[in-house]
Amino acid sequence: MLLKNIETALNKQIRIEAESSQTYLSMACWAEVHGLEGIAQFMYAQSDEERAHMLKLIKYVNERGGHAQVTDLKAPKTSYTTFKEMFEELYKHEVFVSDSINELVHITFSEKDYATHNFLQWYVSEQIEEEATAKNILDKINLIGDDKGGLYLFDRDIQQLAVANSTTNNPK
């Protein structure tokens, strides 16, 4: 049985994961209408992955005797000046999610809820990977600078990353 404060914290994380999914879906839409097919595909995959993270939390809360809450979501940003700005926001958002997961882990440890603490270790590892991916992408964008040919190649490369990630990241 989940303690009430842990259930509340997990429900907060469910909302964060849902908003992450919506944010990346909005980024995918922006990229798609700007002709950045590879980036759009990557962002659609990221959106799906965040939704899967949310569902994993929902199932855990319900299986542990809590009640997962589906709440209203904050509307995501819909426009970006550049694709670089979009990826900078993606990186900042992943750092925010990592901080939130770390706080959740801290609460479970303080409350001696070792089952939930153990469950959350998957999210800790996932966030390390998500931050590294976002940072790597930003590094590549900075290498490209304003080179249009570089942008074309980057868009093709990130499309391949989206395909590779969709086949290896299945958090069931």
User: What domains can be seen in the chain, in order of their start residue?
Assistant: 4-168 (1.20.1260.10)
Binding residue numbers: 17, 50, 53, 94, 127
Comparing C-alpha atoms, which of 128, 33, 130 is closest to residue 83?
Answer: 33
Distance between CA 22 and CA 74 in Å, rounded?
9
Residue ranges of the chain with per-residue pLDDT less than 50: 171-172
The pLDDT value recorded for residue 61 is 98
What's the pLDDT score for residue 169?
A: 56
Q: What is the pLDDT of residue 166?
A: 67
Q: What's the confidence (pLDDT) of residue 147?
A: 81
Annotated binding site for Fe cation: 17, 50, 53, 94, 127
pLDDT at position 164: 76
Residue 54: CB partners within 8 Å, gap ≥ 6?
Answer: 14, 17, 18, 21
Q: Which pLDDT does position 171 carry in this prediction?
A: 47
Residue 167, pLDDT score: 64
